[in-house]
Copies of this chain bind each other. A is one copy, B any other.
Amino acid sequence: MPKISESEWEIMKTVWRENPLTAEQIVQQLPKDTEWSDQTVRTFINRLMKKRALGYHKSGRSYQYYPLISEKECVRAESKSFLNRVFNGAAGLMMTNFLEETQLSDKEIERLQQILTEKQGRDPQDPSRP
């Protein structure tokens, strides 16, 4: 799993959301507050190709880029890294911390409670069988 830098994450998120995309489309679909020049974005795209995080196929004069690695995998890797760096890997601690610091809507709270209830009492070694 290649290491994706902060800036590169913006590119990847855009391409995950919709693909394939040309470089120009990527530029357009980045958050409006992004202040990178076109060339900068193209540099990031290129680095992601070198890392084998993006692939492409030609289309006319330009390329159409698409992800070679899944968002799920990247999210998982990045989450793990964050968890270890900041909370020494203690997921429970991390979550109590987030819950305490974060404002959540009632809807979200219910959703979380539902997930927790489902998890509860299940054999930890066999999550598929309640």
Contacts and interface: CB of A to CB of B under 8 A. Distances in A.
The contact size tier of chain A is 35 or more
A60 interface: no
Given A6-B85, A13-B88, A99 B115 contact: yes
Give chain A's interface secondary structure class. helix
Interface string A24-39: 0000000000000000
Given A116-B116, A119-B104, A111 B92 contact: yes
Contact of A94 (B91, B98, B116): B98
26 contacts: A6-B81, A75-B86, A75-B97, A76-B101, A78-B85, A79-B82, A79-B86, A79-B98, A82-B82, A82-B86, A94-B98, A95-B108, A96-B111, A96-B115, A99-B112, A99-B115, A99-B116, A99-B119, A103-B127, A105-B124, A109-B116, A110-B120, A112-B112, A112-B116, A113-B113, A116-B116
Given A91-B98, A95-B95, A112-B112, 17 more contacts: A6-B85, A75-B97, A78-B82, A78-B85, A79-B86, A79-B98, A79-B101, A82-B86, A91-B103, A92-B108, A94-B98, A95-B102, A95-B112, A99-B115, A105-B124, A110-B120, A113-B116
